[in-house]
Amino acid sequence: MTRSRVWACAAVLVTLGASGCSGSDTGEPLGPSGAGADGPAAASASGPAGSGGAAGPTGSSAASTGVGGSGEGAGGAGGVANNGFPAHWIDGTNCAGDPEVQVWEYDADTFILRQSPCTYFEANFLYVLFGDDKVLLQDTGTGDATVQPVVQGVIDEWLAKKGKTSIPLEVTHSHSHGDHIGGDYQFQGKPNTVVVGTSVDAVASFFGITNWPTEIVQHDLGGRVLDVIPIPGHQSAHIALYDRRDDVLLTGDTLYPGRLYVSNWSAYQASIPRMVDFVNAGNPVQWVLGTHIEMTTTPGQDYAMGANKHPNEHVLQLTFDTLLELDQAVKAQGGSPSYEVHDDFIIYPL
């Protein structure tokens, strides 16, 4: 189906060449373009890759929620026991056989969904986090995949296991770009469901943030507290979620194994250390999880813009070391942001 895609960042780049994105979000000014022009620079340091679980059947199957079986190598300290990560996410190389949405049971209360690259090349990752009283969905994908019945299937199975009959669903967003809110329409009007607005005001109001973007607040799902960290820079209403139970930091499009488009450099420069400081203040991170994969298993090599097949994908999970590497690189660039390739991500000022 066709939906408006005002973010169209990568898509625009495909069409125009590496000349920067246009029309991104809700009025956030896009900096002068000319990204990518500077060519690769410095780079690379520690590359986590390969961390985390391997093996394990890929939990595919769409609406029926055939959740993934156990991977292995949850590894790391802290956090509750988990299944790690699948050996491979659906990567667009088997469109006839793969579901539109892959469901991975990270642990009994945490699910990672991947929208197939066959439905749209952005191939977003979505997160479902259950507390005792509420379940939170971060992001709804591009709108090209049928996501809501899959999420409902996950919820129904969880309810059955818990012997419950219902749980309220909160649909929130890492940020307001179209590939993260495109499926909202599938949730609007559904019973027991709140779809949070996408503006800075709406996000701040929902979570109770009065001093954006410097205030970090807690959001309790019932026995499971999330810390909400405003991290504008990629987009003005961007947030990170820290899950105290799993020691996982959800970083959206601000940090993931791929092209880190930065539309507001000074805001981004302030957001990265905000996360680092938060972690260093006593909030350990086992995994840093973003919402796309655009890097291959070859260090520093990304897929072509708009590629809808991702053979040999980089793993989804990053570590705190990667966040530190990004922090140092962003600081080093100072007031002159430039395209910079690292093993596990690419800084991509717009």
Judged by the rule CB under 5 A, the positions of this chain that interact with Zn ion are 179, 253
CB of 144 to Zn ion, least distance (A): 13
Q: Give the rounded distance of the alpha carbon of 73 from its chain centre.
A: 22
CB of 7 to Zn ion, least distance (A): 7
Residue type, 128: V
User: Residue 158 or 261: which CB sits closer to Zn ion?
Assistant: 261
Residue type, 167: I
User: Residue 221 or 250: which CB sits closer to Zn ion?
Assistant: 250
User: Residue 235 or 319: which CB sits closer to Zn ion?
Assistant: 235
Q: Please state, as a whole number, how many other Cβ atoms lie within 10 Å of the Cβ of residue 335.
A: 7
User: Residue 234 or 245: which CB sits closer to Zn ion?
Assistant: 234
3-class DSSP assignment, residue 53 = coil
* CA separation for the pair 330, 346 (Å, rounded): 11
Q: Are 103 and 111 in contact (CB under 8 A)?
A: yes
Residue type, 140: T
User: Residue 170 or 253: which CB sits closer to Zn ion?
Assistant: 253
Backbone angles phi, psi at 296, to 5 degrees: -90, 180
**Which DSSP string corresponds to 264-313?**
-HHHHHHHHHHHHHHHHTT---SEEEES---BBSSTT-BPPTT----TTB
CB of 261 to Zn ion, least distance (A): 8
CB of 207 to Zn ion, least distance (A): 20
CB of 91 to Zn ion, least distance (A): 17
| Structure token digits, residue 8 | 């169209």
